[in-house]
Amino acid sequence: MLLPILVFAQKKGDQEATTLLLDNWHKAATEANLEAYFGALSEDAIFLGTDPSERWTKKQFYDFSEPFFKKGKAWDFKASQRNLVFSEDSRYAWFDELLDTWMGTCRGSGVLKKVGKNWKIVQYNLTITVPNDLTKDYLKILKEFTEKSKKE
């Protein structure tokens, strides 16, 4: 009967480790700690930003982000809620989180992978949330922006 206890302990340890990874990752951006921020990403990581054109490999995202970090001010996102789900073999985890940001409430979601004894971020997707009641207003703004962009 030790097996269920061991599995629970392992999952609890993974829950704590992944929560710490994500919290420290956001903290590294706030503190403009480039090494810690990009050290949390796997070598094959993909970052999806809020703009439709923002699909970056780790290197592309590093090149984009480095000037912000070098100025000592990257971004300050704080998770207010987070959900984690682990694969049966505890090698992968999926997550989503609500973030307090300068853009209002955003949602981050992604995939984590266990590499050796450490967890790494394999994919992160940052989205700006739009309340359902504001969707029509958002679509109107988006249409105006798209039409203006076509003229330029």
CATH of the domain at 133: 3.10.450.50
Strand 41-48 and strand 118-128: pairing?
Answer: parallel
CA dist., res. 83 & res. 114, Å (int):
17
Would you mind telling me the total number of residues written for the chain in this entry? Answer: 152
Cα atoms in the 13 Å half-sphere on the side-chain side of 123: 12
pLDDT at 33 > cutoff 60:
yes
The average pLDDT across 121-127 equals 98
Expressed as residue numbers, the domain containing 140 is 2-151
| Whether pLDDT at 108 is above 90 | yes
Report CA-CA distances (Å) from 34 to 28, 47, 53, 125, 149: 7, 15, 23, 19, 34
Which has more confidence, 12 or 4? 12
DSSP 50: S
Q: In the structure, what pLDDT confidence band is assigned to residue 12 with cuts at 50, 70 and 90? A: confident
Residue 150, pLDDT above cutoff 90: no
- The tally of domains found in the chain comes to 1
Is the pLDDT score of 113 beyond 90?
yes
**pLDDT value of residue 100:** 96
